[in-house]
Amino acid sequence: MKDLFSDKNIFPVDIKDTMQQSYLDYSMSVIVGRAIPDARDGLKPVHRRILYAMKELNLEHNKPYKKSARVVGDVIGKYHPHGDMAVYDALVRMSQDFSMRYPLIDGQGNFGSLDGDSPAAMRYTEVRLSKIAEEMLKDLDKNSVDFVPNYDDSLKEPSVLPTFIPNLLMNGTDGIAVGFATKIPPNNLAEIIDACLAYLDKDGEISTDEILNYIKGPDFPTGGICFDIKSIKEAYKKGIGKITLRAKVKEEKIKNRQALVVYEIPYQVNKALLLQSIAQLVKDKKVEGIADLRDESNKEGVRIVIEIKKDEQPKVILNKLFKYTNLQTTFGVNMMALVGNTPRLLNIKDAIGVFVEHRIDVVKRRTSFLLSKAKDRAHILEGLLITLDNIDEVVAIIKSSQSTQEARSRLKERFKLSDRQTQAILDMKLARLVALEKQKLIDEYNQVLKDIEYYESILKDRSVLKGVIKDELVYVKQTYADERKTQILDSIVDIGIEDVIKDEQLIITFSKKGYVKAVPLDVYSTQHRGGKGRMAATFSDNDYITDIFLTNSLNTLLCFTNLGRVYSVKAYNIPKQSPSAKGRPIVNILNLQPQEFVKTIVPISEADSLFFATAAGTVKRSSFRHFENIPSNGKIAIRLNEQDSLVSVFSVAEGDEVIITTRRGMCVRFDSDSVRDMGRAAAGVRGINLSEGDSVVSAFNFNQDKHTKLIVVSQTGLGKLLRVSDIRKVNRGAKGVRCIKLKENDSVAGSLSLKDTGDVIVVTKNGKMIKMDADSINVFSRAARGVKLINLDEADSVVSIVVAGSEDEYKA
C-alpha cells in the first residue's frame, strides 16, 4: 500500500482540462444514451429497450397482457440500469393515444389523461405491444442490425431497431440534453410513406419542396388546427421553427343561449389547467360575457362547453380565449437527432433520407442472411437428393460400418459430400425414403434455388432492392395509415387587439372641460316624447356636454380640435363607463397641444371626402387620402382665422348635399360637389352668408336616397321634424331660409337629417340625456316652433342632439 502512494504513482493534472473532459464525457453520455433519439428508428435507448424487452417476453398484440411491473423489472434488470419510475414513465407515454400519434404499447388500466392525471402504479396496469410496434421489431433475428453488449456484458441488445415504419417523423419526440434539445412533431403515416416512396423513386435526387408536396404539416394526436403553411414549410426546410396550433371550436345553441364548444385542444395542453385559466380570466374580468363553463369530456372525446351571456358576441370572446389561454399555442420545432451517434439538426428531407437509407441497409443485411441460409439449405438438400438417388448403396454402407464415424467417412468419400451433408444423411429419418417425401425434397430444392436467385438479384440490382422496400412501405401504409387529425390552414390568423373587442355601437360624449367617455347604445331604453330622460353624465360645476356622437367600437376616429388640427384614435380606446360617469380627460388619450381641445370627431369611412364647416360660415372639402397615417402629435386639418372656430366635420360622398343651420334658425342647402377639393391645410370658402351676430351651430351631409326629414331642436327643449323638400336648394354662400320660429330668449341647439324611423337622443347642458322614437315627433312647417321634447330643469338647456341610427348614415 505504501508503494501505491509513492511519488512515482502520482501524476499532476490540469484541473481545467480534467473538468472539461469529464463534462464532455457526461454531455455525450446524456446526448447519446438518454435524451436524443436515433434518427433511424426514432427511439431513445429507454424506449428501444422497453420494446425489445417486451418482444423477449413474447408480448405480441394478440397475446395476453402482462403486468407493467414485470416489463419494467426486465428492462432495468437486463438493459437499462436506471430508476424504475423513469422507465415506467416512458412506457406510459408510449401507450397514451393523446401523447403519441400511433401508440407503440397497448395498455390496459389507468394510463393518465389529458387533465394531467397520473397513471396508476405499475403493479396495477398491464401492457403488451401494439400491432404497429411489432413492425419495428421484425427481422431482429435475421442479422438486420448490430447487437451490442448490455451494461454488464451478460446479454446482447440491438443498437437500433430494423423498423419498417418511419417512427421518428410518425410519432415525433422531445427531449433536453446537455447543450442540445429536440422537439420533433408527429406526422401522418400515409404522408410520410408517400414521401419515402417519392424519395426512393428519385434515388434521393428530390428537393425539400417536393417532399413537402406529400407532407402537409404536423398531424397531432389531439387534432386541432395548424396555421400558416409558409411557417410550417420553413420549419420543415430548416429543421427549426415555430408552428401555431389552435383548438377546434364550434358554436352551438344550448337552452336559448349561444355556446362555444371546444372539441379538440392543442397538443400537450393540460385540459384541467386550461379550464382553470379560463375561469381565472372570468374572475379577473379580463374576459367578460361567459355565463357558464363546464367540462363534458368523456370516452368519446373532448367537449368543453363555454356558455355565452345574452347579447354577447361569441367570436369576440373566442378571440380573447385564443389570445389569453392555451386554446392557441406555439409548437417549437427542433428536429435534432443522432446520425452515426452524432447530434445533427435534420430537415424533413434529411429525416426521410436517414430512414430510407436505414431500410436499405436493413434489407441488404436481411437478404444476405436469408441468402446464406438458403445456400446452406440448398447444400443440405443436394446431399439428401444424392442419398435418395443411391439409397440402396447408402443403406449398405451404413449397415456395414462398425461405427457412426466410419459410416460418416465412407459416405463422405464415396459420394464426395461435405461434413454437413454427411451428417444430414445420417440424421435423416427412414420416413423420408418414401416416394412422396422424395418429391417434396425435390420441390423444396427447386424453391430454394429460386429464392437464392431472388436474394442475389436484390443484392445485385438496386431497382429490385428498391422494389422490395417500396412493397414493404406500401404494406405498412395499407395496414396502419389513417385520416389526418390536424387541419392545416393556408395563412396564420393573428389575433390583434381588434379581434378581442366587442363590435357594438357606442355613444361617445365630450364635456366642456375635456372629459370623454363611451357608453354602449343598448344601455339607453327608448322613452316617450316629453319624458324626463336619463343622466348621461355627472359633472362638476361649470362643466357640461358639448358634443355627442354615435360610432362603432372598431372604427378609427379622426379627432378635430379647436386649433384646426386632427388626431386619430380607435373608438375602443375611449374608456367605457356608466351613463352617469364623468368620463376621463381626453388629454390622457390624445397628445394634445396646450390650449387645444377636441371639437368634433369623424369615423373613418368609405366616403370620398371630409367636409368642414366653421362658426363663421366657412366650408371646405378635402379628400380622405390627406388624413391617412395621422401621427400621434397630430396634423393641421384646416387653417382657421383667429375669430373663427370649427363647428363640424363629416364625410361626404359623390351626390351628397350639405345642410347648414345657424343659431338664429336660418338654414341653407347646397351640393357638396359645389365646393372644390382642397388640400389639408387650406382655409376653405364661404358656405353661408350670415347676418350680423349669427353663427353656424350645425352642418351635416344629406342624401335624398337615405334621408327624408330634418330635425331641429332649440336650447329650450322645443323640437320638430321638417321635410327636407321644404328647404329649397341654393348656391353655396346664400343666406338660406328660416327653418324654425324662435322666441327672443331661444336659439337653435342643433339639427340633423334622419330616415322615416329611428331614435333621437337629446343632451342637455347639465348632463341629462333622453332617447325617443322619431315617429313620436310631429312634422311642422318651416315657420312653426315645434313641441316640447324634454322637460328641462331651471338653468338647464339643450346643447346637442344625435340620431341613434347606423354610423354610416348619421353623424351628430
Cell numbers at 134, concatenated: 411489432
Q: How far is residue 67 from each of residues 88, 92, 125, 128, measured CA to CA in Å?
A: 11, 12, 6, 9
Strand pairing category for 759-764 and 768-773:
antiparallel
What is the C-alpha to C-alpha distance for residues 681 and 672, in angstroms, rounded to an integer?
19
Contacts of 804 (CB under 8 A, 6+ apart): 505, 507, 521, 524, 550, 758, 759, 760, 761, 771, 810
Query: What share of residues in the chain are helix, strand, coil (percent, to 5)?
Result: 35, 25, 40
Q: Which residue in this structure is represented by grid cell 373663427? A: 644
Q: Is 124 a catalytic residue?
A: yes
Q: Going edge to edge, which strands form the sheet with 126-129?
A: 66-67, 126-129, 105-108
* Residue 761: closest CA among 479, 525, 488, 495: 525
CB-based contact 59:127 (threshold 8 Å): yes
What is the C-alpha to C-alpha distance for residues 127 and 71, in angstroms, rounded to an integer?
8
Q: Rg (Cα) of the chain, in Å, rounded?
A: 43
What is the C-alpha to C-alpha distance for residues 570 and 212, in angstroms, rounded to an integer?
42
Cell numbers at 465, concatenated: 432492392
Q: How far is residue 488 from each of residues 210, 223, 678, 716, measured CA to CA in Å?
A: 18, 10, 50, 64
CB-based contact 411:397 (threshold 8 Å): yes
CB-based contact 619:732 (threshold 8 Å): yes
* DSSP characters over 505-552: EEEEEEETT-EEEEEEGGGSPPB-TT---EE-----TT--EEEEEEEE
What are the backbone dihedrals phi and psi of residue 711, each rounded to the nearest 5 degrees, phi first? -110, 135
Q: Identify residue 343 by its one-letter amino acid code.
A: P
Instruction: Specify whether the backbone of 671 is left (phi greater than 0), alpha (psi in -120 to 50) or beta.
Output: beta
What is the C-alpha to C-alpha distance for residues 326 and 418, in angstroms, rounded to an integer?
73
Contacts of 556 (CB under 8 A, 6+ apart): 568, 569, 570, 571, 603, 604
CB-based contact 380:424 (threshold 8 Å): yes
Q: Identify residue 727 by its one-letter amino acid code.
A: I
CB-based contact 704:770 (threshold 8 Å): no
The secondary element (H helix, E strand) that includes residue 618 is strand 618-623
What are the backbone dihedrals phi and psi of residue 383, each rounded to the nearest 5 degrees, phi first? -65, -40
What is the C-alpha to C-alpha distance for residues 83 and 239, in angstroms, rounded to an integer?
32
Residue among 26, 124, 151, 475 flagged as catalytic: 124
How far apart, in Å, do the first and last CA atoms of the chain sit?
104
CB-based contact 57:71 (threshold 8 Å): yes
DSSP three-state, residue 559: strand
What is the C-alpha to C-alpha distance for residues 724 and 709, in angstroms, rounded to an integer?
5
Q: Going edge to edge, which strands form the sheet with 685-686?
A: 646-652, 609-614, 618-623, 685-686
The secondary element (H helix, E strand) that includes residue 306 is strand 304-308
Q: Which residue in this structure is represented by grid cell 416416394? A: 435
Question: What is the crossing angle of helices 404-415 and 348-389, to 10°?
Answer: 100
List, by residue number, the catalytic residues.
124
